[in-house]
Amino acid sequence: MSDPNPAEAPTETKTPGRTRYLIPLFVFLIMAGFLLKGLFMDPRHIPSVLINKPAPEFNLPTLYNPEKLISKAGMKGKVWLLNVWASWCGACRAEHQVLNEIARMGIVDIIGLDYKDEAADGKRWLAQLGNPYTEVLVDKSGRTGIDFGVYGVPESFLIDGEGVIRHKFTGPLYYPDIKEVLIPKLNEIKGEGK
Amino acid sequence: MKLFKTVAFIGLFLISGFAGATALSSYTFEDKAEEQAFRELTAKIRCLVCQNQSLADSDAELASDLRREVYALWKEQKSEDEIVDFLVSRYGDFVLYDPPFKPSTYFLWFGPLFLLLIGAYVLSRALKSKTEDKEVELTEADQQRLKALLEDDNDNQETTK
Amino acid sequence: MIPEIGHFALVLAMCLAIAQAIFPLVGTLNNTPSWAGLARPLAWGQALFLTIAFGALTYSFLVDDFSVRYVASNSNTLLPTAYKVSAVWGAHEGSLLLWAFFLGIWGAAIALLSKKLTQEVVARVLSVMGMINIGFVSFMLFTSNPFERLFRAPAEGRDLNPLLQDIGLALHPPTLYLGYVGFSVAFGFAIAALIGGRLDASWARWSRPWTTAAWVWLTLGITIGSWWAYYELGWGGWWFWDPVENASFMPWIAGTALMHSLAVTEKRGAFRSWTLMLAILAFSLCLLGTFLVRSGVLTSVHAFASDPARGMFILVFLLVVIGGSLALYAWRAPTIFSGGRFDLVSRESFLLGNNLLLTVFCFLVLFGTLAPLIYDALDWGKISVGFPWFNKMFLMLTPFLALLIGFAPLMRWKRTDPAKLMKSLRTAMIISTVIGLIAFIPAISKGSLLVPLGMFLMAWIITSHITGIRHRLQHKKGVHNLFVDLAGKGRSYYGMVLAHMGIAMFILGATMVSHHGIEKDLRMSPGETADISSYTFRFDGVTRTPGPNYMANQGKFTIFLDDKQVAVLEPQKRTYMAQGGRPMTEAAIDWGLTRDLYVSLGESLGGGDWSMRLYYKPYVRWIWLGGLAMALGGILCISDRRYRTAKRKNKQPAQTDASNTLATENS
């Protein structure tokens, strides 16, 4: 190792703080921590910004009786699950059995939202797979879906008696969700007396 | 479960790609400038389905639905902020490619500033230590040694160059 | 049979990699020359087996062996042969094999071209490369085996993703990976230096051409990628600040800083810890990029099919390699003494500024790329960091870099007289300022400050470098003729000039296309025309055209400039048979040095009407020409005589450190 001038050597080698050489390692470990956490997260998942906020207003016709309109005000006082579905949606097919089960258990009213679908297709689909819905609303244009922040199908929203969205299920509902998420949430709402 | 979700989303994406998408071409504008402005706005918004395309570019059905909504608001003379607010209140900050400047994103905007300051600090310290003129006086003996070395090296230079 | 041979070759390569990682390194530490001497043969052996493995996979593609899962997923009997070859690296497993293959090749290259180095250094460098190879080969063997068989071989494969059936794809990953792997060489050198505790000018001199070569490949890879995205994706964009693009850009930024830092370490013995740090950083970013692309941690249009299990494997690998090297750095770097004093106005200080700007920029890109992940991990919500944010950061820093570049040709080592410097550059300054001012005219600036700024900086780089050349030809002794200089000792100087000119070209292209580009979304009926800039586009309808493995709707556009026909463009909307019907856009471009005319077909709207996009892209080619110029500049630097004359120097006894630090002033 070169040492051009002995007189300078002492001041050079007395590096102020060996610790600063540890900084890169430290920064890397922090970053690695985030990457590790990232492996267990889904970057494509968009959480709802409407949780614990009032559900958007809507006034939609029903599938089986287009003259009948249902609005948000009409749902007041009831705790209900809004399930966004469509006959063209593959994942909705799998989810449907879970919805049928929830309907059978009778723990919560399920209102369907037939999203960007043809009425005839929707009816046929329900005839085929069963109808767990207390009512089926029709959102032909998708505008109500947008108001709810829907970005894929299926999605479901748990809404309490005061019209506040308490939970959003992004993607299909699975059997474990009933016991692990839906029922606890329903109890929570009941406990609050809403 | 996670795999299924992924597949489901990809499936959704593919399906929505099939359905005829309304291209930007169907909208009418007063003039070129307005069209340009609309395009710029939609370019700043992220498509939620094909998450790597802007609202302007995406063919997804949700994208064309959102474009329709944005266009409707645009025609109502709503300001850009109001339109952005419409989307953010439904989909969150994720929908904006340019993260807004608000308390939750201070980290994102001040982070770079912080990095720059660190860089400037490092630079000034490095320059300070390197540019201090600490030419130490050579002793007689050292000067002789230096002279000898230089001469010796010069000989080397001539033969190797 | 062949795939099994390939698989077996991988296993053998793994064994050799383990041996290569252990024996030479241990041999240098406890002074067992026979072990250290194993480095070269082991490297040759690795190269051999990895070549066999790669060859086996390629063969499987060429003979349509669909019993191999990877081939079945990515190929098809109708796929053109050229794309069968490029399909080898078209997806996750195969691209890993490409990485490993190149690691083998670079290792062999070192074994071949390292006669002037001490055995100790060669052994250590190859050991480090062996360790890296263990990572990649084991990753393949344990999680991503390209030779996995399907026990009911399908009759037909799924076909290569149509987006990838393209010359750009054929070239983009190989060039990029050659760059990534090349930086492992610089990394290996850094580790070798840290282990040995010595870092002298010969280390830098040796490391430099390899680092520059890696950088050249990476520059080409990024340039091709950008060009490919432009014409293939149909949106007319050339850079999206997509996480995977950033993953390739960050190593490039760090690599650029490294190259420049190495120059200082070689010439002046200064910046040693910097150079070591940058070498570790550059390669670490290459590995990080591999992680980001394959782990599913970030959304990206380029990402390979993501799998958290694979992501975990790579993360562990990252921890070992990057964590280990940074720990080594923290331990050993303080003992490496960095000498050299220099003035505030000197080549060193400006290169220091350059280093810092590039490093800060690199970290900014990293920050922006990881920010959504950080926010989500900390439960701060979901945000998107896209083009607008990155653009702001880019434009905040790069003008300063461009400004510094102008001083490069005339700065002297250690001390430059500021007055003299400004005097020499006065003409360049004036011309550049004038051009910048002219660019304020609304027709040119289009209301943006960035256009005059861009024009000023471009002119500044060009004029300052021309000044530098003139200065050199006039003042440097023995150099009168540019060509003689170029053939002789001055080649690296012209390499620098060319590379910097590449940056000026890039500035021209990026500035002009960003502010003068025009895009129109239209619905047209056959026979209708549209005007863009001074061009008239006439839509001549759509016909159906078959291709080797697709069916296309082909549009026809005739373009006129002031009533004279300039071009006929035929964009397509292709449906690939095997892919099940999702249409792909194949844009049509009439390219030119001053402008591109670009047409992309949209959807059929009924009645013969179609939606489409028409683009006018002025000077866009200069972006990639700039990249090419940079790469060529780098090649010129590598071919400098000093690296070749070093062969003769080897005949003399090994240079001692003292004579190396009494550095004479080179170009």
What is the predicted pLDDT for the residue at B159?
A: 41
Which domain-ending residue is among B63, B78, B100?
A: B100
Q: Are residues B135 and B148 in the same domain?
A: yes
The rounded distance, in Å, linking the Cα atoms of C52 and C25 is 26
**Residue given tokens 């059995």 in the structure block:** A97
The rounded distance, in Å, linking the Cα atoms of A29 and C318 is 10
Q: Are residues B92 and B14 in the same domain?
A: yes
Q: Are residues B15 and B86 in the same domain?
A: yes
Q: Are residues B14 and B87 in the same domain?
A: yes
Which sign does the torsion angle of CA C377, C379, C382, C384 carry? negative
Whether residue A36 lies within 8 A of chain B, CB to CB, comes out as: no
Question: What percent of chain C stands above pLDDT 90?
Answer: 49
What CATH architecture does domain A59-191 belong to? 3-Layer(aba) Sandwich (3.40)
pLDDT at position B152 over 60:
yes
Confidence of residue C106 (pLDDT cuts 50, 70, 90): very high
What is the predicted pLDDT for the residue at B132?
A: 63
* Residues whose CB falls within 8 Å of the CB of residue A17, separated by 6 or more in sequence, listed in order: none
- What's the burial of C646, exposed, middle or buried (CB within 10 Å: 0-12/13-18/19+)? middle
What is the predicted pLDDT for the residue at A152?
A: 87
Residues of chain B contacting residue C297, judged by C-beta atoms under 8 Å apart: none
Kindly report the nearest CA distance between residue C296 and chain B, in angstroms. 11
For chain B, state the CA radius of gyration.
31
Tokens encoding C196: 């040995």
What is the predicted pLDDT for the residue at B21?
A: 38
Confidence of residue B67 (pLDDT cuts 50, 70, 90): confident
pLDDT at position C628 over 90:
yes
Kindly report the nearest CA distance between residue B78 and chain C, in angstroms. 22
Highest mean predicted confidence (pLDDT) among B66-75, B101-110, B116-125, C212-221? C212-221
* Residues whose CB falls within 8 Å of the CB of residue C150, separated by 6 or more in sequence, listed in order: C66, C67, C68, C69, C72
CATH at residue B54: 1.10.8.640
Of B30-44, C351-365, C622-636, the range with the lowest mean pLDDT is B30-44
Q: Give the number of other CB atoms < 10 A from CB of residue C489.
A: 19
Confidence of residue A41 (pLDDT cuts 50, 70, 90): confident
What is the predicted pLDDT for the residue at C222?
A: 96
What is the predicted pLDDT for the residue at B59?
A: 74
**Contact between chains at A47 and B92 (C-beta distance less than 8 A):** yes
Exposure of C227 in the CB half-sphere (CA atoms within 13 A): 23
Query: Which candidate from C311, C318, C661 shows the least CB-CB separation from A2?
Result: C661
Residues of chain A contacting residue B48, judged by C-beta atoms under 8 Å apart: 46, 151-152
pLDDT single digits (tens) B106-124: 888 888 888 888 888 888 8
Give the mean pLDDT of B74-78.
Answer: 85
What is the predicted pLDDT for the residue at B24?
A: 59
Altogether, the residues listed in chain C come to a count of 667
Residues of chain A contacting residue C339, judged by C-beta atoms under 8 Å apart: 2, 4, 12
Q: Are residues B31 and B71 in the same domain?
A: yes
**What are the CA-CA distances from residue C398 to residues C341, C354, C450, C513, C630 (Å)?**
27, 10, 12, 17, 16
Q: Which residues of C touch A (CB under 8 A)?
A: 197-198, 200, 269, 273, 277, 280-281, 284, 291, 295-299, 308, 311-312, 315, 318-319, 322-323, 326-327, 329-330, 333-334, 336-337, 339, 370, 372-374, 376-377, 381-382, 657-658, 660-661
Q: Are C5 and C52 in contact (CB under 8 A)?
A: yes
Q: Give SS3 for A80.
A: strand
Instruction: Tell me the H-state helices in C304-346.
Output: 308-318, 324-332
**Cβ–Cβ pairs < 8 A, chains A and B:** 64
Which domain-ending residue is among B70, B100, B130?
A: B100
What is the predicted pLDDT for the residue at C659?
A: 35
Q: Are residues B22 and B96 in the same domain?
A: yes
User: How many domains does one find in chain B?
Assistant: 2
Give the mean pLDDT of C34-40.
Answer: 89
Peptide bond before A16: cis, by omega within 30 degrees of 0? Answer: no
Give the mean pLDDT of A99-112.
Answer: 90
pLDDT at position C652 over 50:
no
Show me where the domains of chain A are located.
5-39, 59-191
Residues of chain A contacting residue B69, judged by C-beta atoms under 8 Å apart: 143, 146
Tokens encoding C100: 């490993």
Residue type, A85: W
Confidence of residue B135 (pLDDT cuts 50, 70, 90): low
Give the mean pLDDT of C505-530.
Answer: 90
- What's the burial of C143, exposed, middle or buried (CB within 10 Å: 0-12/13-18/19+)? middle
* Residues whose CB falls within 8 Å of the CB of residue C109, separated by 6 or more in sequence, listed in order: none
Confidence of residue A11 (pLDDT cuts 50, 70, 90): very low
Give CA torsion, residues C200, C206, C209, C213, to 10 deg: -110
**Contact between chains at C383 and B126 (C-beta distance less than 8 A):** no
**Contact between chains at B130 and C270 (C-beta distance less than 8 A):** yes
- If phi over 0 gives left and psi between -120 and 50 gives alpha, with beta otherwise, what is residue C666? beta
Confidence of residue C168 (pLDDT cuts 50, 70, 90): confident
Q: Are A84 and A173 in contact (CB under 8 A)?
A: no
Residues of chain C contacting residue B119, judged by C-beta atoms under 8 Å apart: 356-357, 359-360
Q: Give SS3 for B161.
A: coil
The rounded distance, in Å, linking the Cα atoms of C394 and B6 is 34
Q: Are residues B56 and B125 in the same domain?
A: no
Q: Are residues B9 and B74 in the same domain?
A: yes
Strands A135-139, A109-115: pairing kind: parallel
Q: Are residues B74 and B143 in the same domain?
A: no
> Nearest-CA residue of chain B relative to A56?
B90
How does the average pLDDT of chain B come out, rounded?
72
**Contact between chains at A43 and C299 (C-beta distance less than 8 A):** yes
Which chains form contacts with chain A, at 3 or more CB pairs under 8 Å? B, C
Q: Are B46 and B98 in contact (CB under 8 A)?
A: no
For chain C, state the CA radius of gyration.
27
The rounded distance, in Å, linking the Cα atoms of C285 and C366 is 9
Confidence of residue A65 (pLDDT cuts 50, 70, 90): confident
Residues of chain C contacting residue A44, judged by C-beta atoms under 8 Å apart: 299
Residues of chain C contacting residue B94, judged by C-beta atoms under 8 Å apart: 381-384
What is the predicted pLDDT for the residue at B23?
A: 52
The rounded distance, in Å, linking the Cα atoms of C30 and C66 is 50
The rounded distance, in Å, linking the Cα atoms of B146 and B140 is 10
Taking only residues 43 to 102 of chain A, the set having a beta carbon closer than 8 angstroms to any beta carbon of chain C reads: 43-47
The rounded distance, in Å, linking the Cα atoms of B101 and C89 is 42
Nearest CA-CA partner of C98 in C89, C90, C106, C107: C89
For chain A, state the CA radius of gyration.
27
pLDDT at position C581 over 70:
no
**Contact between chains at B92 and A146 (C-beta distance less than 8 A):** no
What is the predicted pLDDT for the residue at B161?
A: 36
DSSP symbols for B74-117: HHTT--HHHHHHHHHHHH-GGGBSS---SGGGHHHHHHHHHHHH
Give the mean pLDDT of A158-177.
Answer: 90
Tokens encoding B6: 């992924």
Tokens encoding C55: 């060859």
Q: Are residues B67 and B119 in the same domain?
A: no
Highest mean predicted confidence (pLDDT) among B90-104, C89-103, C537-551? C89-103
pLDDT at position C577 over 80:
no
What is the predicted pLDDT for the residue at C596?
A: 92
Tokens encoding A112: 């369907």
Kindly report the nearest CA distance between residue B52 and chain C, in angstroms. 6
Q: Are residues B54 and B120 in the same domain?
A: no
Angle at C412 between CA C408 and CA C416, to 5 degrees: 110
Nearest CA-CA partner of C17 in C114, C141, C116, C119: C141
Residues of chain B contacting residue C521, judged by C-beta atoms under 8 Å apart: 23-25, 39
Q: Give the number of other CB atoms < 10 A from CB of residue C127.
A: 29
Whether residue A14 lies within 8 A of chain C, CB to CB, comes out as: no
**Contact between chains at C329 and A31 (C-beta distance less than 8 A):** no
What is the predicted pLDDT for the residue at C76?
A: 86
Tokens encoding C268: 């002046």
Which chains form contacts with chain B, at 3 or more CB pairs under 8 Å? A, C
**Mutate which of C281, C326, C341, C660 to disrupt the A interface (most A C-beta within 10 Å)?**
C326
What is the predicted pLDDT for the residue at C398?
A: 93
Q: Are A18 and C273 in contact (CB under 8 A)?
A: no
The rounded distance, in Å, linking the Cα atoms of C29 and C36 is 9
Provide the domain limits for residue B67: 2-100
Q: Give SS3 for C617.
A: strand
Residues of chain A contacting residue C273, judged by C-beta atoms under 8 Å apart: 21
Query: Which candidate from C295, C323, C326 shows the least CB-CB separation from A39?
Result: C295
Pick the more confident residue, B17 or A91.
Answer: A91
How does the average pLDDT of chain C come out, rounded?
87
The rounded distance, in Å, linking the Cα atoms of C201 and C265 is 6
**Contact between chains at A2 and C337 (C-beta distance less than 8 A):** yes
Q: Are A155 and A171 in contact (CB under 8 A)?
A: yes
Q: Are residues B94 and B108 in the same domain?
A: no
Nearest CA-CA partner of B13 in B5, B23, B24: B5
pLDDT at position B2 over 50:
no
Q: What is the pTM of this model?
A: 0.86
DSSP symbols for C39-87: HHHHHHHHHHHHHHHHHHHHHHHHTT-TTBHHHHHH--TTS-HHHHHHH
